[in-house]
Structure formats: structure tokens, C-alpha cells
Amino acid sequence: MIGGNESCSAGPIPMSYLTCLTYILGEWTGVEHIEDYLSYAVYLLWVLFPLAVVFLLPGVIVILFYSSILVLHIYKRKNELKEAYSNDFWDGAKQMLATLWDGHGRIWHGYELHGAENIPEGPGLIVFYHGATPADYVYFTARLLIQRKRYCHVVADHFVFRLPGFKILLDVLGVIHGPKEECVSALKKGCLLAIAPGGVREALFSDEMYTIMWGNRKGFAQVAIDAKVPIIPMFTQNVREGIRTLGGIKIFRSLYERIRLPVVPFYGGFPVKLRTFIGEPIPYEPNITAEELTTKTKAALQVLIEKHQKIPGNIFRALMERFQTQKKED
């Protein structure tokens, strides 16, 4: 075997492997001084590599979602004959997915869940701030299922139901479109239900200032009133530092408002510290209006943000918090 410092022969003059490769490429392409172009290409690769990484890392979340879908298909195929004898055909699959996502949350973000005791034993409506992706919510549901054997349904935007291959995942996880009647029905059956009133707009266009972007949305409050259940505010610390968007660029905001699809580029995927905090429930009051309950809920969520999030958010600080045991405030 020839060592890396030895030479290959291209004519009468011995050359190193790199020079030999450059000579062959030059002969093949007919380009003179091709080594100058190669040096420039290597330099560009070196400069642009970190930029490429921050735009590619968010793809890990997409891979995890489709890995979950693959697990469900395999599970379904292996357990079809047991369906008639099982109380819940998908129990085992839900546990497997919870283990998968909780493992990713623990390893990549040192994920922690605080205040789970504030979640009532019966039904309740969890209202949370929407990060650039819903990964923190998935970590929350996984930890809740593992630790307390509680399952939480969630309301998702209509475009999610059009994503290729997602149907089985949405069905198993109990994701719903969000008509008021369907939400009220789920709560009256004793389910936990979660919703981010800011939805896709908050996910794409909020920023490191953690601005709540609910607009005039108050349907969730009417759902809680009709179902006679408490509202539980929830916030995840550093959720906007893990993955960020280019939502500050006006053309992306204009494009979203026109077509209502999340076409804003993501970047990041940084292993920042994530901690989810569950606030104290806002109890059901028979005489409260939807407007008043919306205001109370928004204020409660704002308190969680101010209590647990340093503003403006900072990616480096969020990374360093992986090595700290102290939170901003418990």
C-alpha cells in the first residue's frame, strides 16, 4: 500500500497524489491552471460549511417525524392480528414513539419538564407559546406519557394534514383540525387538549423577543368555557434559540399572508437547553366571557415567559445553559 506522501507517475515526472489528480482533471476538462479553481472551490467550501450546517440541522426534526411514521407502519404490520384482542391497538406504538422522542430531547437538549403537577387529573386545555417548530411540544407529550401515563391531544394547522405520509402519525397521536365542536367533544370525554393560539404565524414570525402573536384569536377560550375546563399555560425556555426562522424578511411575511403556507426558511438545530414550564391552571368561571378569558390566559403565559426566559434570547447563552443547574427562576 502506498503512503499519502508517496507519489504517482504521470509521465516522466513523479507527482504527489493531489498534483496527479489535478493533472488528470486538467487533461480531462481541458482547463488550464485548474489547480487555481480547485483552491478557490476548497476555500468556498470551508467558508460556507458552517452556513450549510445551520440550515441542514433542522432537517433532523423532519427525519425524526418520518422515522416515527416508519415505526408506526412497521408496528401496524406486525400487530394487525392482535388488534381484535387489544384494548388500544396503538398503546405499544405510542410508548415506542415517546421513548424515541424523549431520548432525542434528553440527548440533544437536556430536556426538562417542570410543573407537571399543575396538570389536572381530568380534562384541561393546555395553551402554549409556539416555537419555530413544535418539537418542544412533542418532547412534552413524550415525557408526560412516560412519567404520568397521560396522553395529550393537540390542535394543528390545516396544512399539516396535507403533508405526505403524515396521516398515520396524526391519527395515532390524536391530532385534530380544530373545529370548536371537535375540541369541546374531546374535552368533555375527559381528554387533555393542547393548542397554540398563535399557530403558524407565531411560529414563523415571532423572534428572540418572544412576542406572543395571537391577533384576535379567542376561539380557544370559548372552547374552554363551553367544555367547562381549566386552561393551563405552558412555555418552553429557549425554544426560539434551538431553531430560528428568517421571518423578519418582509418578502416571506408577504408570501405567507398570500398563500398561507410555511415557506419561511429555518436554520439552527442547535443543542440548546430546553425546559418546559407548566403554569398554574386558570379555573373555569361560568360568568367569564371569551375575551376576558383570552386576556387572562395571555397574561399568564406572558408571566411564564418573563419568569423563565432571558430576553432577548441568545443562542450562545442557551447553549451554555446546558452546563448550568440554575434556571432563570423556578
Cell of residue 66, nine digits: 418520518
Does the N-terminal peptide bond of residue 123 adopt cis geometry, omega within 30 degrees of 0?
Answer: no
Predicted confidence band of residue 228 (pLDDT cuts 50, 70, 90)? very high
| Within-domain flag for 157 | yes
Query: DSSP label at 228?
Result: T
Asked if residue 255 is part of any domain, the answer here is yes
33 in a domain, yes or no?
Answer: no
Left if phi > 0, otherwise alpha if psi is -120 to 50, otherwise beta: which for 268?
A: left
Tallying the residues shown for the chain, one arrives at: 330
Cell 411575511 belongs to residue: 253
User: Global pTM?
Assistant: 0.80
Q: What is the pLDDT of residue 66?
A: 86
CA distances from 214 to 47, 147, 185, 203 (A): 39, 31, 24, 11
Query: What are the tens digits of pLDDT across the range 6-40?
Result: 445 545 445 565 567 666 766 676 666 666 656 65
Establish if 191 belongs to a structural domain.
Answer: yes
End-to-end CA distance of the chain: 62
Q: Please, what sign has the CA dihedral across residues 204, 205, 209, 212?
A: negative
Helix axes 34-56, 17-29, angle to 10 degrees: 100
Q: Residue 237 in contact with residue 328, Cβ under 8 Å?
A: yes
Mean pLDDT of the chain: 85
d(CA 195, CA 29): 58
Is residue 3's pLDDT more than 60?
no
**Strand 231-237 and strand 275-278: pairing?**
antiparallel
pLDDT at 29: 65
Residue 40 maps to a domain: no
Which is it for strands 7-9 and 14-16: parallel, antiparallel or unpaired? antiparallel
User: Is residue 330 situated within a structural domain?
Assistant: no
Catalytic residue positions?
130
What are the tens digits of pLDDT across the range 254-282?
A: 999 898 888 899 999 999 999 999 999 99
Q: What is the pLDDT of residue 304?
A: 98
What pLDDT digit, counting tens, does each position of 39-93 carry? 656 656 656 566 566 666 777 888 888 889 888 888 877 776 455 445 567 888 8
Instruction: Identify which has the larger pLDDT, 328 or 141.
Output: 141
pLDDT of 74 reads 82
Taking the C-alpha atoms of residue 131 and residue 318, their distance in angstroms, rounded to an integer, is: 15
- Residue 219's domain comprises 50-80+89-322
Residue 275 located in a structural domain: yes
Q: Which residues contact 122 (CB under 8 A, 6 or more apart)?
A: 190, 229
Task: Report pLDDT digits (tens) over 161-212.
Answer: 988 899 999 988 889 987 899 999 999 999 999 999 999 999 999 999 999 9
For residue 147, tell me if it sits in a domain.
yes
Residue pLDDT, tens place only, 279-315: 999 999 999 999 999 999 999 999 999 999 999 999 9
Asked whether the predicted pLDDT for residue 109 surpasses 90, the reply is yes
H-type alpha helices, 161-266: 167-173, 180-188, 199-205, 219-227, 239-242, 250-259
- Above 70 in pLDDT, residue 115? yes
Give the closest residue to 227 by CA, choosing from 273, 183, 172. Answer: 183
Q: What is the CATH classification number for the domain harbouring 76?
A: 3.40.1130
Domain count of the fold of the chain: 1
Closest CA to 286 of 232, 221, 228, 233: 228
